[in-house]
Amino acid sequence: MNSHMRALVIGGNGFIGSHLVDALVLAGRRVRVFDRGAELYRPPLAGVDYRLGDFGDAPALAEAIEGVDVVYHLVSTTVPSTSNLDPVSDIQGNLINTVRLLQLMVQKGISRIVYLSSGGTVYGIPDVSPIPETHPLRPICSYGVIKVAIENYLFMYQSLHGLRPIVLRASNPYGERQGHAGVQGVIGTFLQKIKSGERIEIWGDGSVVRDFIYVADLAGLCVKAGASEYCGILNAGSGVGHSIREVLNVSARAAEQAIEPVYKQGRAYDVPSIVLNISKARKELDWKPEVELSQGVSKTWQWMKTL
Q: Bin 16: left if φ > 0, else alpha if -120 < ψ < 50, else beta.
A: alpha
Amino acid at 224: K
Residue type, 198: E
Give me the average pLDDT of each 10-residue run along the chain (307 residues): 82 97 97 97 97 97 98 92 90 97 98 97 95 97 96 98 98 91 78 94 92 98 98 98 97 96 83 93 98 98 95
Contact 274, 120 (CB under 8 A): yes
From the list 143, 157, 174, 214, the catalytic residue is 143
pLDDT of residue 182: 52
- pLDDT for residue 291: 98
Identify the DSSP state of 239. Answer: S
Q: Which long-range contacts (CB under 8 A, 24 or more apart) does 225-230 make?
A: 225/114, 225/166, 225/168, 225/285, 226/7, 226/70, 226/72, 226/112, 226/114, 226/166, 227/1, 227/5, 227/27, 228/166, 228/284, 228/285, 229/164, 230/166, 230/284, 230/285
Q: For residue 77, what pLDDT is reported?
A: 87
pLDDT of residue 81: 80
CA distance linking residue 154 with residue 232, whole number of Å: 10
Structural contact between residues 275 and 237, judged by C-beta atoms closer than 8 angstroms: yes
Q: Where are the beta strands (DSSP E) in the chain?
A: 6-10, 30-35, 49-52, 70-73, 112-118, 164-170, 172-174, 201-203, 209-214, 232-236, 241-243, 262-264, 273-274
Nearest residue to 170 via CA among 142, 133, 202: 133
> Is the pTM of the predicted complex or chain greater than 0.85?
yes
How many angstroms separate the CA atoms of 131 and 239, rounded?
9
CATH class, domain 6-174+213-237+271-289, is alpha beta
Q: How far is CA 46 from CA 21, 30, 49, 299, in A?
A: 11, 11, 9, 24
d(CA 17, CA 213): 15
154 backbone dihedrals φ, ψ, rounded to 5°:
-60, -45
3-class secondary structure, 54: coil
Q: Is 115 annotated as catalytic? A: no
